Amino acid sequence: MNTIPNFDGEEMKIPAAAVQKTAAPEPSLINAPLLIILFIILMLVFGGIYYWYTMTIPGQDLLPARPTDAMNNEPESTTAEARTATADVLSTSNELDAIEADISSTQFIDLESALAGIESELSAAIEATPVTTGQ
């Protein structure tokens, strides 16, 4: 039953129904050269951002958020700290006698002269600021 077909001398024909013509593939918008160019542009953008970031922070020397004692030019800093420490000593009581004692123990040394100095500095700063018209 297993006989091998013999096709010697016969012309082979392809059936017409089996032949299917496929359309040519449409060209794709995304191809290798375009992807390479986009990758190079992306690398240039990231490189520029990195270069800009390293130039804006030279040496990565960030200043501390609060000035140190060496950076502080205030001549009476120990006096100011002592006054602040004494001002913080208040009673936690809500009795009238304790509140009166806290008020009477608060010292307003040189308050008028300090306020006058602040006011003169502010008025000098205002006078030094140029006035612009909104036109």
Residues 83-94 pLDDT 10s: 666 666 677 778
Determine the average pLDDT of the residues in 63-75. 65
- Residue 135 covered by a domain: no
Model confidence band, residue 33 (pLDDT cutoffs 50, 70, 90):
confident
Instruction: Quick: pLDDT tens for 95-121.
Output: 888 888 877 777 667 677 778 888 888
Mean pLDDT of the residues in the chain: 76
CA distance 83 to 81: 5
pLDDT at site 88: 62
Total number of domains in the chain: 2
Do 83 and 122 share a structural domain? yes
| pLDDT for the residue numbered 40 | 97
pLDDT > 80? residue 5:
no
**What is the model's pTM?**
0.28
Residue 130 binned pLDDT confidence (cut-offs 50, 70, 90): confident
Distance in angstroms (rounded) separating the CA atoms of residues 5 and 7: 6
Residues 86 and 112 in one domain: yes
Shared-domain flag, residues 55 and 82: no
Query: What pLDDT does 49 receive?
Result: 92
